[in-house]
Structure 1
């Protein structure tokens, strides 16, 4: 007796649209059409999805039309400028994601004896990519040459589905959400300056002496500019030299002798080792280390390529 196929049901407005088997799904619905529909919704429209996929918008339109005809429902309301998903479309979308994820999981199982392969989309803060990931990625590529990494850099928390990311690396406390996460370590804060800057303006002997210097400030988040020290009730106020909206810009300005600033350890570890920067009052900053975490979605947590990437991230820690 042959093994029965797993039943799949697609619901629309509390009624069954179709009830059958994976074999019948394969016969009725094209996986490419389901993927096209999901991609159009995630990308916010036909034109953007077509650009990302390297196909024509008319090709995607035909895929959606086939789905609508086969399921006998309207999935999307289309205008010249936007799309709107119908209630039926939202129900089908959830099932389509599950079908596509199941298909990918089955492919993973079928190739379990082979090396992990396929695309993996990573989102991470700019400094983490430049100072932690980039120097070590040759090791990962050598070990897993068939994994096609795509790295997007942003310091903002992103919607993993909307940004097409499989995993996001984040610093600091995590928001309440349904996303899974894996701790990757912690990074301490350090207050630093260029030796030449201190030679010109004076080397501080106590934290209070910092008031005689100038600070290169972060535009956001503002709290990074606050300098609190153990055994000091109030923060030390330092006049701003200038402000930059990017952590790497702040670092370059400090390296060029424009003031002092505090950074996550991994951002300036090489600079300290090379003597380009010096740490001021080691161990005296009164600020909690930053947690480093990898966030990912339940629906992709079983992918082998994601699993090996998360394991590798755990080995490199905070750099």
Structure 2
């Protein structure tokens, strides 16, 4: 393990310059050092490596076999360092892998339709898309951006609001024909109420009965880890579920699903946010570009 006080790239630069310019004095002038300082630096490098890199004479310096190998590798490493710095400094050209985590419903309905335009605008960016409804640790999961619905918890993440979505209780025409359409919140007691299998900010369905606020617990035969699975269960006629309007809008428009108890719906909404680690002026261009793109193009129904 190298000691932290050893500037290995600096040693390589000086050594390479000594070889390329043919002596300590010429390298010293290039780095504005004294020839003695350069000579001592190369000597310390040889001592640390346990190998002689240069054969010294009064007329010239010659590379040893070990010195030849070290010189060639040093040149390649320094070139790669220069390239890494150039890429990191190219803040005006988004590039690289963008890791996005969101829930399956938002991905299907909102994100995936927008991605082709984003990728066409930034062809040097590649997207890695991971889908889950559960909260994740961005650092542990090596994620750049997480998109989530609902109230925000206190955290070290920065949030950009993308929009709001209304929630609606829905069922399939087949299910409602077999079990009847609920006319009041109390009618839900006889219905199969599908729910999420993880903790959410609101575990009950809020409803209004006149001026009275009610909270109906979703108790049924299916719990699912994401809203898209619940949507598929509702489409299959298994029961009722309370889902985001953006997720079921196409189903409602096509008649595959039917809203129920809308006159008792309090009209509450969930906010959609893009969450990311705050990096100030050093935020990678690919992340900044994607956040700005989402903010400009996400339209919640």
Same fold judged by TM-score > 0.5? yes
Deviation at 1:29, TM superposition (A): 8.8
Deviation at 1:212, TM superposition (A): 3.0
Note the 1:2-151 alignment, pairs <5 A.
17-18=4-5, 26-27=9-10, 107-110=87-90, 112=92, 115-151=93-129
Separation in 1, partners of 2:194, 2:298: 29
Within the candidate set 277, 280, 292, 1:311 is matched to: 292
**Which one has the largest radius of gyration?**
2
**Matched residue SS, 1:157:** coil
TM-score (norm 1): 0.62
TM-score (norm 2): 0.65
Deviation at 1:222, TM superposition (A): 6.2
Separation in 1, partners of 2:244, 2:135: 18
Could you say if the C-alpha distance between residues 233 and 306 of structure 1 is closer, same or farther in structure 2, counting changes exceeding 3 Å? closer
Partner of 1:187: 165
8 Å contact kept, 1:191–1:262: yes
Deviation at 1:104, TM superposition (A): 6.8
Separation in 2, partners of 1:159, 1:29: 39
Could you say if the C-alpha distance between residues 249 and 259 of structure 1 is closer, same or farther in structure 2, counting changes exceeding 3 Å? same
Higher relative contact order, chain-length normalized (CA < 8 Å, sep 6+):
2
Residue deviations 1:215-259, cap 9 Å, x none?
122222366552221233433466523333332221111101111
8 Å contact kept, 1:294–1:310: yes
Could you say if the C-alpha distance between residues 179 and 165 of structure 1 is closer, same or farther in structure 2, counting changes exceeding 3 Å? same
Residue ranges of structure 2 left out of the alignment (5+ in a row)? 14-47, 50-82
**Matched residue SS, 2:272:** strand
Within the candidate set 184, 188, 195, 1:206 is matched to: 184
Residue ranges of structure 1 left out of the alignment (5+ in a row)? 1-11, 31-68, 71-102
Aligned length in residues: 228
C-alpha RMSD of the superposition? 3.1
